[in-house]
Amino acid sequence: MSLSVGQKAPDFDVVSSAGKALKLSDFIGKKNVVLYFYPGDFTPICTKETCGMRDMYADLESQDTEVIGVSVDSNESHEKFAAEYKVPFALVSDKNRDLARSYGATSFLRDILGKTARMTFVIDKKGQIAGIFQGELSAAKHVDGVRAAIKKLG
């Protein structure tokens, strides 16, 4: 499925590695959501991307925005990753890539490798997609894109 800016974001109902229930519908009318898919914990670009999100998290929170990171890694891996890099937001294990598929964060190569594509979605308080960022080899493209998209929603 190919999503585009202005489209209604697919709802999700997942549980974070810390056991917190997360539903897009719970954020509607209250918070923007940054939903980012990344190939794996502890890999160089994914670590840089996650740390970039971490470093601007307080600023995003002050703009009524929640961040959720998603990969196929286990909850145990996510907990270790979050502890090592002091990640303050939810990480979700999408082992079967169901959430990734609903957002189109898959590709032929990534399916073969059993991973997700690197994609970031900024979802506004109305539940509409306000920004989509893609780029396998650039953490900065995602972090900078989120910063700019949230600023526009301000």
Burial class (CB in 10 A: 0-12, 13-18, 19+), 153: middle
Predicted local distance difference test score (pLDDT) of residue 31: 97
pLDDT for 28: 96
Of the candidates 51, 35, 48, the one whose C-alpha atom is nearest the C-alpha of residue 116 is 35
Any idea of the CA torsion for 109, 84, 143, 137, to the nearest 10 degrees?
-30
How many residues does this entry show for the chain? Answer: 154
Mean per-residue pLDDT over the chain, rounded: 94
Per-residue pLDDT, averaged over 26-37, amounts to 97
Catalytic residue (choose from 9, 35, 45, 46): 46
At residue 104 the predicted structure's pLDDT band, cuts being 50, 70 and 90, is very high
Q: What is the DSSP letter of 73?
A: S
51 annotated active-site? no
Query: Taking each helix axis from N to C terminus, what angle separates 139-153 and 44-55, rounded to the nearest 10 degrees?
Result: 30
Q: List, for residues 115-139, the tens digit of each pLDDT value.
A: 898 999 999 999 999 999 998 788 9
The domains located in the chain, with CATH, are: 13-153 (3.40.30.10)
Is residue 37 over pLDDT 90? yes
pLDDT tens digits along 59-87: 999 999 999 999 999 999 999 999 999 99
Please say if the pLDDT value at position 1 is more than 60. Answer: no
Is residue 88 within 8 A of residue 65, CB to CB? The reply is no
